[in-house]
Amino acid sequence: MLTPEQEDLIAATAPAVADHLDTITQRFYPLMFERYPQVKPLFNQAHQQDGGQPRALAGAVLAYVGLRQDPQQARGVLATVVSKHVSLGIQPDQYPIVGECLMAAIGEVLGEAVTPEVAAAWSGLYEELAGLLIELEEYRYREFEQRPGGWRGTRRFRIADTRQESAVIRSFVLEPEDGGPVADHQPGQFIGVKLTIDGEPVYRHYSLSDVPNGRHYRISVKREPQGRASRHLHDAMSVGDTLELLPPAGDLTLADGDEPLLLASGGVGQTPMLPMARHALAAGRRVIYLHAALDGEHHAFRDEVAALAAEHPQRLRAVSVHERGDAADHIGRIDRKLLASLLPEDARCYFVGPQGFMTAMDQALAELGVPGERRHYEHFGPSRPLDAA
Ligand SMILES: Cc1cc2nc3c(=O)[nH]c(=O)nc-3n(C[C@H](O)[C@H](O)[C@H](O)COP(=O)(O)OP(=O)(O)OC[C@H]3O[C@@H](n4cnc5c(N)ncnc54)[C@H](O)[C@@H]3O)c2cc1C
Ligand code: HEM
């Protein structure tokens, strides 16, 4: 519990912390990886390079200064963090590590301004936030463990089948090695995957590209030319090989209701859209399924979506857009004019793809009058504002 004096000290020093956020985070991660190398594999090193993730963690601590008066709002804002943490199996005993290194980085960067009283105030704030995250994460771990087919920690799965979906995307069907049932996920959620590459653990997130079925999960992975995990999955793993999974998580899920849906994706961003479309159609909703790909060769799940459209001719309209070639409904890019011609009245819109794609979608949908609370998206990397394209 922070004292009123500590709250005043935090308010007085928060602007200095905000001004030096980048320097603090640049110091924090190397310090933590040096002191506690055991946590390094949890962090995607490519996200470290582009700066998005480092700023996110320290930025969230700073944002909490303004949020802590409203616990309900704080829980809502922290939902994305909790999802990322849960799908990586973050544990309570790792919080003091982050706290110690964050405080050390703040001390190094702000120097004499960090008196013992200021340090104690920020440590208190960190502990309060850590306590809240630990509580929210434990709730999710316990809830998932208690579901039929759920588990805690990692569970080993076997690749039961693979399928090349496009020139660069391959699906992997994963069945539990123990032969038990598999807990349901919510369509649109992702799962934490733990691979072992050259003897080292490597963690990544992958959206579940099929609806829950009690028997297996499916992920669909784009091979990144220099990517560590995706190249390993594509080039070194096949049917019979095993990997570990952490609990599914994520908040890009269908809001209840019967409004029509616009599900728009660019490239591999299609993966969460497939189960959402299936689920929505089964519930009797109308779906506009808009997918943008580079060309025919890079257009994944074409047959799957066509079969779904044949099953639901009245309620599913599938529209393809390719940047080049002549194998799509539209050639070029999704623009406002195309969206205007497809967008049903009162639609709820979900979109996932590269940052530029999502920024353009968000802007065009806003201009077409879709309010913020009906525009849903997710980054396949650290979350960041869409206007930062
Ligand atoms: C919620 C969520 C859902 C996701 N769903 C999916 C999905 O369904 N399908 C899917 O394919 N992916 C998905 N991803 C992305 C996935 O988690 C991985 O990030 C992706 O597979 C790349 O991982 P990698 O190890 O192959 O590449 P990494 O090794 O992480 O590299 C990523 C990119 O960064 C570049 N890079 C690597 N190191 C450096 C460096 N030092 N400097 C500069 N550039 C560098 C690489 O060339 C590569 O292009 C999702 C991510 C999230 C967060
Ligand atoms: C109060 C403490 C913490 C805060 C405020 C915090 C905040 C965040 C935020 C904002 C993100 C990014 C979420 C997103 O991209 O949507 C994140 C991701 C992450 N956090 Fe935390 N976190 C905390 C503690 C921890 C701890 C203790 C660990 C474990 C060592 C941890 C490990 C991670 C990892 C591995 C990621 C994903 C990184 C990646 O994309 O490579 N965090 N956290």
CATH number where 209 lies: 2.40.30.10
Give the DSSP H/E element, type plus range, for residue 6: helix 4-19
Q: Which stretches in the chain have pLDDT values below 50? A: 388-389
What separation in Å is there between the alpha carbon of 82 and the centre of ligand 2?
8
Q: Are residues 31 and 72 in the same domain?
A: yes
User: Are residues 275 and 324 both part of a single domain?
Assistant: yes
Residue 254 forms part of a structural domain = no
Cβ–ligand 2 contact at 120 (below 6 Å): no
pLDDT digits (tens, 9 = 90+) for 270-280: 999 999 999 99
Active site annotation includes 36 = no
Position 52 scores a pLDDT of 64
Ligand 2 pocket test, pick from 38, 40, 68, 81 with the greatest ligand atom count within 8 Å of Cβ, gives 81
Residue 124: CB atoms within 10 Å = 17
Q: Helices 4-19 and 95-110 meet at what angle, rounded to 10?
A: 70
Q: How far is CA 136 from the centre of its chain?
A: 17
By the 10 Å C-beta count (0-12 exposed, 13-18 middle, 19+ buried), 326 is classed as exposed
Which mutation among 98, 135, 251 tests ligand 2's pocket best, with the greatest number of atoms within 8 A of CB?
Answer: 98
**Residue 227 alpha carbon to ligand 1 centre in Å:** 6
pLDDT at 388: 42
CB distance 124 to 159 below 8 Å: no
How many domains is the chain built from?
3
- Give the residue from 202, 219, 249 where a domain finishes: 249
Nearest ligand (C-alpha, residue 229) = 1
Phi, psi angles (nearest 5°) of residue 90: -60, 135
pLDDT at 377: 96
Same domain membership, residue 187 and residue 66: no
Buried b / exposed e along 350-379 (16+ C-beta atoms within 10 A): bbbbbbebbbbbbebbeeeebeeebbbbbb
Kindly state whether residues 123 and 196 are assigned to the same domain.
no
Nearest to 237 by CA among 299, 174, 190, 153: 174
Whether 209 and 311 share a structural domain: no
- Do 223 and 289 belong together in one domain? no
Same domain, 240 and 274: no
Q: How far apart are CA 205 and CA 3, in angstroms?
A: 39
Quote the domain boundaries for residue 276: 261-388
With respect to residue 275, please indicate whether it lies within any of the assigned structural domains: yes
Tell me if residue 95 is catalytic. Answer: yes
What CATH number corresponds to the domain at position 24? 1.10.490.10
Catalytic residue among 29, 64, 126, 137: 137
